[in-house]
Structure 1
């Protein structure tokens, strides 16, 4: 198999045939800083609650359902983000499909990345 073509890296101003070691180090550090699922509050209790929400919403994306579409949901979402004072109560949780969840998170200002954005 031929070697992978080298590509220029804007971070270190060198060409690499694989991932830039400096970029990989940055990614690893970010992964360590963000903590594990359990450290961020998504451990065993959250996984149990997630299953309850999936059953409650019958496995369907609630946003698509409002638009008259039956789309399978895969992401449990906080209606009011935790960064804005939302809780893990069932009334504050809904099931969304991935595109709806990404759209909602972007509208909230990236709260899923720990920035705690505010709705416009």
Structure 2
């Protein structure tokens, strides 16, 4: 197979070229940590969400009585049905599956919290 044709680095303003499939030169190639680490075509079992997680998830939902424990709902005294389990400190940010780091959360609240974490992780405004 012929070698790749060098293309400009995808990082805005970078004068270097690359043949890497990511499109970034070696200086700007994203480090495979955080959010990128768990996605990339890996199954839930490969990401650590197998049978043990299912048991832990059920334990957390029962402990929290299927009521959303997100910061906003607790602060406003809102009671929402929780169907998800959330890592208070995300695994991508160094959190663990310890019961003290897990809480029941509503699906909409979970999406909102995850979006904030991704935004902050990618260099957005640090406090939302």
Q: Distance in 1 between matches of 2:112 and 2:69?
A: 13
User: How many residues were matched structurally?
Assistant: 85
2:104 and 2:87 map into 1 onto residues whose CA distance is: 9
Higher percent of residues as helix? 1
SS in 2 for 1:62: coil
Measured on the aligned residues, the alpha-carbon RMSD in Å equals 2.3
Q: Distance in 2 between matches of 1:100 and 1:81?
A: 15
Alignment of 1:37-116 (within 5 A): 37-63=44-70, 64-109=73-118
Gaps of 5+ in 2: 1-38
Q: Distance in 1 between matches of 2:122 and 2:91?
A: 10
Do the aligned partners of residues 39 and 56 (structure 1) sit closer, same or farther apart at CA in structure 2, a change above 3 Å counting?
same
Checking the alignment, whether the CA contact within 8 Å between 1:65 and 1:71 is kept in structure 2 is no
Using the size of structure 1 for normalisation, the TM-score is: 0.63
Alpha carbons 1:53, 1:76 under 8 Å: kept:
yes
Could you tell me how far 1:66 is from its partner in structure 2? 3.4
